[in-house]
Amino acid sequence: MSDLPRKAVTRTAKLAALPLGFAGRATWGLGKRIVGESAEIVGRELQQRTAEQLFRVLGELKGGAMKFGQALSVFESALPEEVAGPYRAALTKLQEAAPPMPTRTVHAVLKERLGEDWRELFLEFEDKPSAAASIGQVHRGVWHDGRGVAVKVQYPGAGEALLSDLNQLSRFARLLGPLIPGMDIKPLIAELRDRVSEELDYGLEAQAQRAHAEEFADDPDVRVPAVVHQCEQVLVTEWIDGIPLSEVIADGSQEQRDRAGQLLARFLFSGPVRTGLLHADPHPGNFRLLPGSDGSGSCDSSGGKESWRLGVLDFGTVDRLPGGLPTPIGHSLRMTLEGDAQSVYELLCEEGFVKESIELDPDAVLDYLLPIIEPAQADEFTFTRGWMRRQAARIADPRSPAYQLGKQLNLPPAYLLIHRVTLSTIGVLCQLGATVRLRDELEEWLPGFVPEEEPAAEA
């Protein structure tokens, strides 16, 4: 039934061709240099060709390769500008679209999961998908009660494809590493692989989305579409219109960029407190900018900012965090801002960020952390690709003290997904070029960031 290229030999051959392609293009580039072409021109052509092959293969395979490409795309801001240009267009494509599943396959899945009379559930159903992602694609429709809906249909064989791709990609992690300076690709792939079973379970996804939809039902800033129907391989939710965040990144107004950035930061930190869940797939394809609660999308009366809301989609990957983000994050962030090197170091040791066998200079650890948390120091901070690139270069340069110290730090398993989500969100904020009052959100939503008030002494 499946038209997804999922046979192990086919998928392995496609992925195995990637490093061969990289090597072939390097030889081609050397040949161009020998005959006298400019190194800069050759380099850009090489990057362009590499991007085109890499993301064409990832997009065709969907599955884990596509998921990896989406995870990678939010770190585009960390690339040097002369490298980032050729990748940007190819990366953006992965955030919103992929080659669609044939109509006959979609109908077969719906017939199997919703029954022979599945069409009677819909007043309208569009065969052409409105979006295609790593494990499924979305079709627009009208439910039998008149509600506009998004119908998410899982690719047959998606689980097998995810595991096959990610296992294969892990073998090429060293070759893919230079795409993102300062980031170890192998743990990213391993962590994505660990999440496969959850993301394939539309029942778990429906639970997470219901929890968010109920909590944010009357929220003026965030909208989560309600779940209409769920069964194996099919998830039906309310449809929401809006501007995809990738379009805001490409050509949105500064007001839209700032508003989207503020709301994205607010959702990141408030979601775990309000629902006990962290949305763990923050790439731009999962967010929409919607008109404000008054329906206008025009300037509000409080200060001239456009009254936009953030629409949030895709709850297939979440981290379960009862009580919100771990309190040690707030404590360590506050103490770092206060310059309390010794207390920060002791807390990092307690939480396992510094292994018992390692001894580091607390002041050096503070120097390592301060530039990273710069956005939390000021009342507002403008996230830029330049800032992101400087941070990546500082951590990735083997000659840098930050690089040597970073190699000795450890990331405990409990913090792995939180770390990736935070980095990904910062990457999106830098793509937006948004000016954000991050400290306001930390003070409001991050447990442990604001010190508890001492009880008043009795007279």
Q: Where exactly are the structural domains of the chain?
A: 243-452
Identify the pLDDT of residue 33: 34
Identify the weakest region by mean pLDDT among 108-117, 169-178, 373-382.
169-178
Indicate whether 38 pLDDT > 80: no
For the chain, what percent of residues have pLDDT higher than 90? 49
Q: Is 436 exposed, middle or buried (0-12, 13-18, 19+ CB in 10 A)?
A: buried
Distances (CA, A) of 360 to 344, 367, 392, 395, 407: 12, 12, 22, 17, 12
pTM of the model: 0.77
Identify the pLDDT of residue 319: 92
Indicate whether 253 pLDDT > 70: yes
Indicate whether 414 pLDDT > 50: yes
Structure confidence by residue, pLDDT tens digits, 322-361 = 989 999 999 999 999 999 999 999 999 999 999 898 999 9
Indicate whether 94 pLDDT > 60: no
Structure confidence by residue, pLDDT tens digits, 351-370 = 999 989 899 999 999 999 99
Indicate whether 306 pLDDT > 80: no
Identify the pLDDT of residue 383: 97
Mean of pLDDT values over 164-192? 61
Determine the angle formed by the axes of helices 327-337 and 341-351, rounding to 10 degrees.
160
Identify the pLDDT of residue 71: 59
Indicate whether 93 pLDDT > 70: no
pLDDT confidence tier of residue 197, bands split at 50, 70 and 90: confident
Identify the pLDDT of residue 341: 97
pLDDT confidence tier of residue 412, bands split at 50, 70 and 90: confident
Identify the pLDDT of residue 393: 80
Burial 281-316 (b: 16+ CB within 10 A, else e): bbbbbbbbbbbbeeeebeeeeeeeebbbbbbbbbbb
pLDDT confidence tier of residue 12, bands split at 50, 70 and 90: low
Structure tokens at 340: 């309390």
Identify the pLDDT of residue 198: 79
Indicate whether 13 pLDDT > 60: no
Average pLDDT in the chain: 79
Identify the pLDDT of residue 438: 97
Structure confidence by residue, pLDDT tens digits, 168-178 = 666 655 555 55
Indicate whether 117 pLDDT > 50: yes
Structure confidence by residue, pLDDT tens digits, 203-236 = 999 999 999 999 999 999 999 999 999 999 999 9
Identify the pLDDT of residue 84: 55
Identify the pLDDT of residue 394: 85
pLDDT confidence tier of residue 300, bands split at 50, 70 and 90: very low
Identify the pLDDT of residue 54: 60
